[in-house]
Amino acid sequence: SQIMSRGLPKQKPIEGVKQVIVVASGKGGVGKSTTAVNLALALAANDSSKAVGLLDVDVYGPSIPKMMNLKGNPELSQSNLMRPLLNYGIACMSMGFLVEETAPLVWRGLMVMSAIEKLLRQVDWGQLDYLVVDMPPGTGDVQLSVSQNIPISGAVIVSTPQDIALMDAHKGAEMFRKVHVPVLGLVQNMSVFQCPKCKHKTHIFGADGARRLARTLDLDILGDIPLHLNIREASDTGQPIVFSQPESDEMTPPLWQKGRG
């Protein structure tokens, strides 16, 4: 791509931020933003001494404002940096705060790149232990540019068990490996739906495709998340599931069940 041919830009840390974790997916609509939001909340809930931020660089379809129940324009600090908006103890920044919710994001090329540059460099995060970055879906210039501009501690890749999603997730993993970003593992989302009435389980998108991919790529499965009404409602009402129902045992298999694929 163009960015590659211009040579590798120098990586510069985001000021005040210790660790950056990107959440990526090959395809859209597989639950990448849902995972990013709940990962941020889980990191904060796990250890209350940790400061956590959430950065939405999904410039074409920012979901963080809605999922975190936030809107408004960021204030500027004295040094002219944008101040993140805060909810549930998480500092959030999103393209969605900078443009009207209903405005079509029809920018291309340079416009998107300058938006990314703003989101990466012109935010006053204060001190953060973790910054969770919600990437756009796919493996285009934005993903590459983010990966090359800032040091990333690791990438979490989200996929449904469906072949078409897995193929794209595979490409995503390869891209991160090429730019030397460690892939922390895969999250398999929407793997099973349990009928609330008869308790019958249906594997709508297939049963364990992400596990197979994890084996192929020698990666961990970080979580296996069922397709569940509560998760969708929690996202839509801006009360993420990790915040609103942290101990729900309906969410079987467990949300963060670790293990080899």
Q: Taking the complex as a whole, how short is the minimal distance between the CB of residue 91 and ligand ADP, in angstroms?
A: 20
Q: Taking the complex as a whole, how short is the minimal distance between the CB of residue 232 and ligand ADP, in angstroms?
A: 3
Q: Tokens 């501009």 label which residue?
A: 149
Cβ distance to ligand ADP smaller for residue 21 or 227: 227
Dihedral pair phi/psi, residue 223, rounded to 5° = -170, 155
Secondary structure (3-state) at 107 = coil
Cβ distance to ligand ADP smaller for residue 123 or 227: 227
Q: Taking the complex as a whole, how short is the minimal distance between the CB of residue 132 and ligand ADP, in angstroms?
A: 13
Q: Which residues contact 92 (CB under 8 A, 6 or more apart)?
A: 53, 54, 55, 56, 64, 65, 68, 70, 84, 85, 86
Cβ distance to ligand ADP smaller for residue 51 or 53: 53
What string of DSSP letters covers 191-251? --EE-TTT--EE-TT-SSHHHHHHHHHT-EEEEEE---HHHHHHHHTT--HHHH-TT-TTS
Residues lying near ligand ADP in the complex (CB under 6 A): 25, 28-34, 63, 137, 189-190, 225, 227-228, 231-232, 235
Cβ distance to ligand ADP smaller for residue 20 or 169: 169
Q: Taking the complex as a whole, how short is the minimal distance between the CB of residue 42 and ligand ADP, in angstroms?
A: 15
Q: Which residues contact 152 (CB under 8 A, 6 or more apart)?
A: 20, 21, 22, 133, 146, 181, 182
Cβ distance to ligand ADP smaller for residue 174 or 250: 250
Q: Taking the complex as a whole, how short is the minimal distance between the CB of residue 54 and ligand ADP, in angstroms?
A: 13
